[in-house]
């Protein structure tokens, strides 16, 4: 199968900084500027460091989305922490799970792993244990987006809050149509995304691999 690359600006509705970060960045820069004016640059230095951290956390660069109708791409930047056969509790069926852990230095925009229609969105309140742990998939606050591809394959992408994360943002609902790489959500300050695939999917990543949302191929259906 030939894999092409879509335009870098495909499905990219906003500038380099995620819209979720604009209020945080504005506040951080304003506080740093006021501190610099009233107490001097030396005392304000830590505040500028915080502003730079906010800037890097909410960065959201455009990505080159691979073409190929059978491809499943990474929904998040981060590191692969699980590749296993397990139970997709959102569909009540067995599945292959591929999990991506995002630390506070990763881009935190979430992108659709496949072309398809959203058939359901399920939100579950929960704990905020370290998202690097397997139990986070079942115990933490999470939001599952159920998708069906044009060929009938069922994919579940689950945003999972982490130890520091306290806000899962999801912008889609049942009936929405998504394309690979399309931005559909955001998680603030460290988390993970679990992707449940059909059992016959051919996984292309291993534990420890680094991923880039919208670019890294997780599997072929």
CATH number for the domain harbouring residue 164: 2.70.70.10
Residue 4: pLDDT above 50?
no
CB 132 within 8 A of CB 159: no
What pLDDT band is residue 64 in, cutting at 50, 70 and 90?
Answer: confident
pLDDT at 178: 94
Given a contact cutoff of 8 angstroms between Cβ atoms, the answer to whether 57 and 104 are in contact is yes
Q: What is the dihedral of CA 122, 128, 131, 134, to 10 degrees?
A: -80
Instruction: Please enumerate in sequence order all residues whose Cβ is within 8 A of that of 214, keeping only pairs 6 or more positions apart, or say none.
Output: 11, 63, 64, 65, 73, 74, 111, 180, 181
- Given this model, what pLDDT does residue 124 score? 85
Interatomic CA distance for residues 100 and 107, integer angstroms: 12
Task: Look at the chain and report how many structural domains it folds into.
Answer: 2
Active site residue 191: yes
Handedness of CA 56, 58, 64, 69 (dihedral sign): positive
Nearest Cα to 189, choosing from 143, 124, 130?
130
Specify the pLDDT at position 67: 86
Mark whether 101 and 146 lie in a shared domain. yes
User: Do 49 and 84 share a domain, yes or no?
Assistant: no
pLDDT at 196: 98
Confidence of residue 19 (pLDDT cuts 50, 70, 90): confident
Same domain (yes/no): 95, 187: yes
Catalytic residue among 41, 112, 191, 206: 191
For 52, the domain range is 19-57
CA distance 88 to 141: 16
pTM of the entire predicted model: 0.83
């Amino acid at each position: 199968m030939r894999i092409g690359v879509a335009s870098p600006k495909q499905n990219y509705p906003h500038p380099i900084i995620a819209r979720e970060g604009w209020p945080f960045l504005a506040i951080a820069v304003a506080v740093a500027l006021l501190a610099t004016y009233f107490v001097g640059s030396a005392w304000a230095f830590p505040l500028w460091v915080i502003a730079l951290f906010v800037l890097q956390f909410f960065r959201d660069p455009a990505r080159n989305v691979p073409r190929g109708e059978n491809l499943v791409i990474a929904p998040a930047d981060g590191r692969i922490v699980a590749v296993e056969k397990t139970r997709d509790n959102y569909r009540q069926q067995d599945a292959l799970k591929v999990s991506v852990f995002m630390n506070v230095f990763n881009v935190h925009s979430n992108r659709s792993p496949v072309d398809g229609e959203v058939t359901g969105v399920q939100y579950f309140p929960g704990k905020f244990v370290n998202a690097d742990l397997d139990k986070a998939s079942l115990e933490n606050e999470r939001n599952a987006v159920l998708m069906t591809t044009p060929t009938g394959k069922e994919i579940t992408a689950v945003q999972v809050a982490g130890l520091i994360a306290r806000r899962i943002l999801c912008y889609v609902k049942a009936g929405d149509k998504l394309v690979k790489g399309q931005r559909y959500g955001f998680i603030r300050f460290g988390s993970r995304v679990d992707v449940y695939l059909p059992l016959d999917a051919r996984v292309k990543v291993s534990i420890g691999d680094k991923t880039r949302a919208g670019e890294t191929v997780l599997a072929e259906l």
